[in-house]
């Protein structure tokens, strides 16, 4: 057990240099190896991991304790919940492939493409016309979206967009689809920095 900033940690997980979805994948596996009530420190350098870990904790019932940043390393702290506190993790059931979305957009369908990646990811390449609201800001900026219009949510691999779809659905958005496999599979038109 190590102590960092007066926080007792039962397991330290090194996810530095990894991008979504790997920090969450490794955290899911690691949390299974500790006992309820124990604390896992996940170290990451991906700024998107802040929203990812918070959303994952909310969706599973494990307790997100907070994040400290030190010399570019984000130290996320999670407490493993007891079995009666844990939620069954679920995936958003309505998906669309990148190819299907490309056909709909090319056909002129009125669909809002919501990109929930971090601003730097969005800046370097995003679906032409996509709206950028990072996952970590979505709850506070939900009013910027029209709940009566179709929304296709995209991220890099479909993980953050899945969490965003669940959040939107919980807020009454009925026409939401998760774009899979996300930008890693997008071959349609993009806008990017020159």
pLDDT at residue 20, as a whole number: 84
Q: Is pLDDT at 82 greater than 50 in this prediction? A: yes
- Exposure of 13 in the CB half-sphere (CA atoms within 13 A): 23
Higher confidence at residue 159 or residue 176?
176
- CATH (residue range 95-191): 3.40.250.10
Q: How confident is the model at residue 88 (pLDDT cuts 50, 70, 90)?
A: low
Q: Which residues make Cβ contacts (< 8 Å) with residue 17, sequence separation at least 6?
A: 45
Q: Is pLDDT at 141 greater than 90 in this prediction? A: yes
Q: What is the mean pLDDT of the chain?
A: 91
- Exposure of 22 in the CB half-sphere (CA atoms within 13 A): 11
Contact 15, 42 (CB under 8 A): yes
Picking from 113, 116, 114, 50, the residue whose alpha carbon sits closest to that of residue 77 is: 50
Picking from 42, 45, 8, 46, the residue whose alpha carbon sits closest to that of residue 26 is: 42
Q: What angle do CA 158, 159, 165 make, to 5 degrees?
A: 80
Catalytic residues: 20
Q: Is 158 exposed, middle or buried (0-12, 13-18, 19+ CB in 10 A)?
A: buried
Higher confidence at residue 121 or residue 176?
176
Q: Which residues make Cβ contacts (< 8 Å) with residue 107, sequence separation at least 6?
A: none
Q: Is pLDDT at 11 greater than 80 in this prediction? A: yes
Give the span between the Cα atoms of 80 and 135, in whole angstroms: 23
Contact 43, 12 (CB under 8 A): yes
Q: Homologous superfamily of 2-79 in CATH?
A: TusA-like domain (3.30.110.40)
Q: For 21-30, what is each residue's pLDDT tens digit?
A: 899 999 999 9
* Domain residue ranges in the chain: 2-79, 95-191
Give the span between the Cα atoms of 169 and 164, in whole angstroms: 9
pTM over 0.85: no
Q: How confident is the model at residue 4 (pLDDT cuts 50, 70, 90)?
A: low
């Amino acid at each position: 057990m190590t102590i960092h900033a007066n926080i007792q940690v039962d397991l330290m997980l090194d996810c530095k240099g990894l991008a979504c979805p790997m920090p969450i994948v490794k955290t899911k596996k690691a949390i299974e190896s500790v006992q309820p009530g124990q604390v896992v420190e996940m170290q990451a350098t991906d700024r998107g991991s802040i929203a990812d870990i918070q959303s994952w904790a909310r969706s599973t019932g494990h307790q997100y304790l907070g994040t400290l940043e030190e010399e570019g390393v984000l130290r996320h702290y999670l407490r493993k919940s007891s079995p009666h506190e844990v939620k069954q993790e679920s995936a958003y059931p309505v998906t669309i492939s990148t190819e299907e979305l490309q056909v709909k957009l090319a056909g002129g369908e009125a669909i809002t493409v919501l990109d929930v990646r971090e601003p730097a990811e969005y800046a370097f390449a995003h679906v032409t016309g996509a709206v950028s609201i990072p996952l970590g800001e979505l709850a506070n900026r939900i009013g910027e979206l029209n709940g009566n219009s179709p929304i296709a949510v995209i991220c890099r691999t479909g993980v953050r967009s899945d969490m965003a779809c669940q959040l939107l659905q919980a807020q009454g958005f009925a026409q939401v689809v998760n774009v899979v496999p996300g930008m890693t599979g997008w071959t349609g038109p993009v806008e990017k920095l020159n």
